[in-house]
Every structure is written in C-alpha cells, then in structure tokens.
Chain A
Amino acid sequence: MPAAQPFFDWGYVTGQWSQIAGDLVQHIVLSLVAVAIGTLIAVPMALVAWRYRLLRGVVFGVAGALYIIPSLALFAILGPVTGYVASYPTAEIALVGYTLLILIWNTVAGLDAVPADAREAAVALGYSPSAALARVDLPLALPYVFAGLRVATSTVIGLVTVTALIGLGGLGQQITYGFGIDYATPIIVGLVLSVALAAVCDLLLVGAQRLAVPWSRTGSGGAS
C-alpha cells in the first residue's frame, strides 16, 4: 500500500461488493442462529431458575461462568472437541454461551416483576399453574425478554467478528483482511456494516415488541 492511502476508498466497496455481501450474509446467519438457539435454551432455564429458588444459583453460576470466559479462550477450549478451523459448532457454542446470561437474567427479572395482583387474579379465575404461566406470567414478562433480546443481539453481532480468528467471522473477515494488508477501507466496511446490522436488528426487535406487547407502546416496561 502506498504511504498516502485514502482513509476510505469507495472503489474497494464497489469492486469487492460480492465478497462483502457474502461476508454480511455469513454474519447474519451466525448471529441469527446464536440468538435463536440462545433463546430456546435461556427461556426454559429462566423458568426453572424462577420457579425453583434453589436452582437459581446454579443456573446463574453456569451462565455467568460462560459469560466471563473470553470468547477467544472459549474457541481455544472448544477447539479440540469441535474443531478449530472454520468450525460452525465452535463459533455457535461460544456465541450462544454469551447470550445465555443476558437472556436468562432479563427473563427472570421480567417474571419477578409480574404484579402479584395479576397472578392472584389468574388463580381466582381458575387458571391452572401452567395456564397462568403461559397466559399471564410470560406475556407480562415479555418487555423484559425483549430488552434481553436486544442486548443479546447487539452483543452477538459485535462478537461474531472475533470468529474471524478461527476462519469464519462474517464481516470480521473484512477486518482481518484489511489488517493483514495494512488497508483501512475493509476494516471500516466491517465496522460500519456491523453497527448498521445491529441497528437494523434493534429496530426490528422494537417493532416485534410493539406487535407482541401492544400495551407497552412507549417501552415503559423496563426497570427504570
């Protein structure tokens, strides 16, 4: 690269668009799968932690430990089992691990915040415990669940780039490519598209929340 490289080179974006689009698609797939699997695991675990106080410590302990271990270290720890190079299981297990604490924490907080009145009313109306859970507790906890989904999604979208170090990476491949040849443009492409993707996903989640929880229009369901 010449010493006076431009800070951003549009020619790169137009010239390499098919590669960039491919990386973007991989980024979306890696993120979506992680958040989806994370949600499928986290919600039942949150229910267990909420129902059985004794298990709460165990659930939060496991999720907390997964959250604390650095992603790069988790790749290296999982690698001998699931494979190092371009291994989707390695990447996804680690990414899912980071969503768990966020999602479980928020879901339990949401269930804890269900007003006792609402639950008593449900019992008085003759709801069985499981019906009350499905039709009263979980719907009322949804604003918190969505809050967790929003944090988990933007966290995962940022983290996916790190999987470039094990040969995946989505937009992270733009970053490692740019770094490898001392060229800022691909790095900026990776950064801007990651942030844009996170913003779009956040807007979609806000929209989904309005559809699913019409009574919390202003997003006032949170703790503050």
Chain B
Amino acid sequence: MDVVDHVRHFIASVAAWLTTSSHWTGSSGIPQLVWKQVLLSGAVVVGAVLVGGGLGLVLGHTGRGGLVAVNAANAARAVPSLALLTLFAIVPAIALTADGFLAAFLALVILAIPPILTNTYVGMREVDADVRDAARAMGLTGRQVLGQVELPLAVPFIMAGIRTAAVEVVATSTLAAYVSYTDLGTPIISGLNTNDPVEAFAGALLVAALAGVVAGVLGLLQRVLTPSPLRRRARTGLLPAGRVATAAT
C-alpha cells in the first residue's frame, strides 16, 4: 500500500505541476517552450532536407560517389550529439547568437543530414532501371527523368528518412537545453539538476507527447505525398528500408 500511495502522490504532483497556471504563461511557459522546440526542430529539418536531400538526389541520379556518401553517413550516426552541441556552444561567437539557437541548429543539422541523405540516395537507386530507360527512350531529358520519374518513385524512401530525422531531431533538441537553448528539455534538465523528479517527469511527458505528434503527423504526410499507385506497398514504418539496406551493404 505504501508504494501505491507513493505512486498516487507522485502522479498527483505531476498533474499539479502540469496544471499550475504559472507554468503555462510567460517566456518559460509551456506554450513558449513547445514553440521554441518546434521552431528549432523545423528549421533543422528544412536545412537538412535542403543539404542531405539535394545531395542524395544528385548522387542517386548520377549514381556516382553514392557509396562513399552512404558510408560517411553511417559513420556519422556514431557521432555523439552531445559532443557536437557542446563543441558549438563553447565557441563564444556561436554560443551567443540568437540565444543559443545557432549552436543547437548547427549541431542538429549535422545529425539530421545522414538519414535523409541515405534514404534519398537509396530511394533513387531503388528506381527500376527499366523505368529510367523507358523515360529516356520517350525523350525525357535528364532533369525531367529526375523530377518526373525518379523523385516521385523515391518519395516513400525520402519521406521515411525525413520522418526518422525529424523524430531524432525533436528528441535531441531536448539536449540543447543542457548547453545553450531553452525548450522542453529545460524543465527536464532543471528537474534533474535540482533533484526535482516531478518537474523532470512533467517535462518528459510533454516531450514524449510532442515526439509522438511529430512522428504521427509526418507519417500522415508520408502517406499523402506517396503517389497513389505506390501506396499499397509503401513502407509506413518509422524505420525506413534504407536503414536495413545500408547497414547490410
């Protein structure tokens, strides 16, 4: 009974924390923290799509240098995000820019590029060579083949990569609260530092909910963007086929 009482008391404390009105207003209120996390994560994913997706499209289209890029991307997976965040955050010129936004942005973009690059490249290479040849035979230029044939067929893979990257970015942006930035990671870090399990737990619930929403929304987007003939066999799981494929090569 003691344990049950303890759990009941803890849950009540977390609920109380979450419903305290002062936690919902001002510059460190929950809506503001959510907004800052979404802002950072969104900017990072857009940046990573531009760099990683663009590079993956070019490499996949030409078929050159892809293996090097995919292997480099695999190696980058082992780079600890905490190391990148702290490295950028101890450079004063970067750390002080935009309240720590720049330091977090740079570190997270490096983290987000590999899954997007790998999946874009794999998706492009998975396009049936016959389809590509047929498009060429019909007189499409290289650029038209890329835009009208390869890209649409690669969308399920590309979206899976973006979704994986986005989930990782939302998760890792909580670590930015340790070095420079203020977002939903802030109550967790502050709770851990001041030994306040209620604050840490409440923050964790909010972050987990946000991560779930992001994964769900991007899953939906993945479905919508997949050309309808591909939909039935589209891979909608969180882990893209590219992960299995690249790790096996």
Q: Hey, which bits of chain A sit against chain B, CB under 8 A? A: 60, 64-65, 67-77, 79-80, 84, 101-102, 105-106, 109, 143-144, 146-148, 150-151, 154-155, 157-159, 161-162, 164-166, 171-172, 175-176, 178-179, 182-184, 187-188, 190-191, 194-195, 197-199, 219, 221-224
Q: Check if A74 sits within 8 Å of B83, measured CB to CB.
A: no
Q: Check if A158 sits within 8 Å of B77, measured CB to CB.
A: yes
* B residues less than 8 Å from A77 (CB atoms): 201, 204-205, 208
Query: Is B243 located at the chain interface by the 8 A CB criterion?
Result: yes
B70 to chain A, nearest CB (A): 10
Indicate the member of B80, B86, B204, B241 with the most A CB atoms within 10 Å: B80
Query: Is B191 located at the chain interface by the 8 A CB criterion?
Result: yes
Chain B: interface residue total (CB-CB under 8 A): 54
Q: Check if B83 sits within 8 Å of A175, measured CB to CB.
A: yes
Query: Is B125 located at the chain interface by the 8 A CB criterion?
Result: yes
Q: Check if A144 sits within 8 Å of B248, measured CB to CB.
A: yes
Neighbour of A191 across the interface among B83, B191, B197, CB < 8 A: B83
Residue of B with least CB distance to A182: B90
Query: Is B50 located at the chain interface by the 8 A CB criterion?
Result: no
Query: 8 Å CB contacts to A: which residues of B67-113?
Result: 74-75, 77-84, 86-87, 89-90
Q: A101-B239, A187-B87 are in contact. Are A76 and B80 (CB under 8 A)?
A: no
Q: Check if B238 sits within 8 Å of A101, measured CB to CB.
A: yes
Residue of B with least CB distance to A73: B204
Q: Check if B248 sits within 8 Å of A105, measured CB to CB.
A: no
Residue of A with least CB distance to B241: A223
Q: Check if B83 sits within 8 Å of A187, measured CB to CB.
A: yes
B38 to chain A, nearest CB (A): 14
Query: Is B174 located at the chain interface by the 8 A CB criterion?
Result: yes
Q: A70-B172, A77-B204, A187-B90 are in contact. Are A224 and B80 (CB under 8 A)?
A: no
Q: Check if A79 sits within 8 Å of B197, measured CB to CB.
A: yes
Query: Is B195 located at the chain interface by the 8 A CB criterion?
Result: yes
* B residues less than 8 Å from A65 (CB atoms): 212
Q: Hey, which bits of chain B sit against chain A, CB under 8 A? A: 10, 74-75, 77-84, 86-87, 89-90, 122, 125-126, 167, 170-172, 174-175, 178-179, 185, 188-189, 191-192, 195, 197, 200-201, 203-205, 207-208, 211-212, 215, 237-239, 241, 243-249
Q: Check if A75 sits within 8 Å of B192, measured CB to CB.
A: yes
Q: Check if B80 sits within 8 Å of A191, measured CB to CB.
A: yes
Residue of A with least CB distance to B242: A224
Residue of B with least CB distance to A84: B192
Please, could you name 28 A-B residue pairs with CB atoms under 8 Å apart, sorted by A? A65-B212, A67-B239, A70-B211, A72-B171, A73-B174, A73-B203, A73-B208, A73-B211, A79-B192, A79-B197, A79-B200, A80-B201, A101-B238, A144-B244, A144-B248, A146-B248, A151-B247, A162-B82, A172-B82, A175-B83, A179-B90, A187-B86, A187-B90, A191-B83, A194-B83, A224-B122, A224-B126, A224-B248
Q: A73-B174, A80-B197, A162-B175 are in contact. Are A147 and B82 (CB under 8 A)?
A: no
Q: Check if A102 sits within 8 Å of B167, measured CB to CB.
A: no
B200 to chain A, nearest CB (A): 4
Q: Check if B82 sits within 8 Å of A161, measured CB to CB.
A: yes
Complex alpha-carbon distance, A213 and B173, angstroms:
39
Q: Check if A195 sits within 8 Å of B200, measured CB to CB.
A: no
Q: Check if B74 sits within 8 Å of A154, measured CB to CB.
A: yes
Q: Check if B215 sits within 8 Å of A105, measured CB to CB.
A: no
A185 to chain B, nearest CB (A): 11
